[in-house]
Amino acid sequence: MFCLPNLKKLSIFFLIFSLNSLFANSITITLATDPWAPYYGPKLKNNGYLAQLVKEAFIRKGYELKILFVPWKRAYEYSKVGDYDGLMGAFYKDERTEFFEYSNHIDQAEIVFFIKKDKNISYKNLKDLSKYKIGVVRGYHYSKEFDKEKENLHLFEANHSKDNIKLLIFDRVDLILGSKKVILSLIKKHYPQYLSQIKFLSPIVHSNKLYVCISKKRKNHKQIISDFNEGLKEIIKDKTYDKILKFHNF
């Protein structure tokens, strides 16, 4: 006797088959970065809003994205020589274009100085801060202006922004430099009791755009960036970009 297959089971079979076919034919891209909440991090929902935007743009063009969270210095050096395919959330820097192909910008970050409120510090230009100890993250690029002036500044390098906040709290440095969203997020999470004691200074140092960078050691790096840019345009056009921001409360 001929029996029709169970339609529910058949639907599940074809769904699994379709997904397997999709990922079997996809190209895997491995991007490295360090945790940078609230933009991205291994403990954030969907690895953070920026990571979800990047992943969705790549999926639209048939790519599978893997994200490695490692110290920034390692992410940069390993990507430069092609051990990783590239970087996620990089700032633009002229000398990096020798090693990387840049995407269209995905979002931007306001870079500001933070101080403790009991410190009487203000500034109009970077030279005004030459007598203070400033905490920065090793390997980070903040702005062209900052790079030009940093030889005249007293900089203390840490491996992570969280470490810099601790240095600020315990008066090991006078100021720290970083993304406004990132520093505030880290203080709220790790040092909430100090939130009322810390403030950011005006003017902002720079508004940095955030990019995907593909190593020029990666085969077809230009095509990968071109595809990503097209995917990014698609998710902006159909409002997926806005929906992802809303999902992450931005």
Q: How far apart are CA 162 and CA 205, in angstroms?
A: 20
* pLDDT given at position 25: 60
Higher pLDDT: 189 or 83? It is 83
Rg from Cα positions in the chain: 22
Stretch 87-102: mean pLDDT? 95
Stretch 62-79: mean pLDDT? 96
Structural domains of the chain ordered from first start:
10-107+208-247 (3.40.190.10), 109-207 (3.40.190.10)
Higher pLDDT: 134 or 26? It is 134
Which has the closest alpha carbon to 227: 58, 54, 25?
58
Q: What is the DSSP secondary structure assignment for residue 205, as one 8-state letter?
A: S
Give the confidence band of 144 by pLDDT, cuts at 50, 70, 90: confident
User: Apex CA 141: angle with CA 215 and CA 223, to 5°?
Assistant: 20
Mean pLDDT of the chain: 90
Q: How far apart are CA 170 and CA 188, in angstroms?
A: 17
Which pTM was predicted?
0.68
| pLDDT higher than threshold 50 for residue 21 | no
Give the pair of three-digit tokens for residue 59.
């999926």
